[in-house]
Amino acid sequence: MAMWIYWTKDYCWSEGKANCEGLFTVGEPFNPSSYPSIKSSEYVIIQQHEKAGNVNVKPTSCKAPWWIESTYRSRDTWSFALSITCLKIPKEFGWYAFSQIDIGQKNVVSSFTQVQTISYPFWELAAQTAKSSSISGENKDEAIASFSKIVLSTKKQANALKLLFSKSKAISRTKKIHI
């Protein structure tokens, strides 16, 4: 089971064309520790291909949480969430999915969706958010310095609370003795 995401042209992943500007596969969960019914800490691997299917395939660092959306007798729904900014997917891209069952039978059962093209309506919003939240250069140094101050401040507060707690315990013990 997998989903292919590609751009710019339909069937760019084929050996004869090999001209995808971007090509990813999102595969099934591999050895999950649970089967969540809501978005969780379970992730699937997103593989990047070079121009054509199954050429120089490498896992990306982009995480895709997955979950089982619904279960019906004959149709379960597997869901996952992708970051278009992490994968650098453009506003318009194509996709298709397939599933296959091979348990040693003579004829392997496969099913494919139709090749689809989508223009993602929230692409600009996602791109703006990613751009405004990215930290680089001097801003990165400022952010690290600010974070270090917060951590130091938190440590000071924790030490003050420990002192207050130990004083409170001492006062409680003194009251018990005098009662």
pLDDT on residue 172? 58
pLDDT beneath 50, residues of the chain: 137
pLDDT on residue 179? 55
State how far the alpha carbon of 41 is from the alpha carbons of 27, 29, 171, in Å: 16, 12, 45
Q: H-helix or E-strand containing 68?
A: strand 64-70
Q: Alpha-carbon distance 52 to 90, whole Å?
A: 18
Q: Alpha-carbon distance 18 to 16, whole Å?
A: 6
Q: What are the domain boundaries of the chain?
A: 2-133, 135-179
Nearby residues of 139 by Cβ (< 8 Å), 6 or more positions away:
none
Report pLDDT digits (tens) over 60-100. 999 899 998 887 766 778 888 999 999 999 999 999 998 88
Q: How many CB atoms lie within 10 A of CB 4?
A: 21
Q: Alpha-carbon distance 129 to 107, whole Å?
A: 48
| pTM given for the model | 0.67
pLDDT on residue 156? 59
Q: H-helix or E-strand containing 93?
A: strand 92-101
Q: Alpha-carbon distance 63 to 76, whole Å?
A: 22
Q: In the chain, how long is the greatest CA-to-CA distance?
A: 91
* Residue with the two structure tokens 């760019």: 12
Q: Alpha-carbon distance 34 to 157, whole Å?
A: 38
pLDDT on residue 20? 95
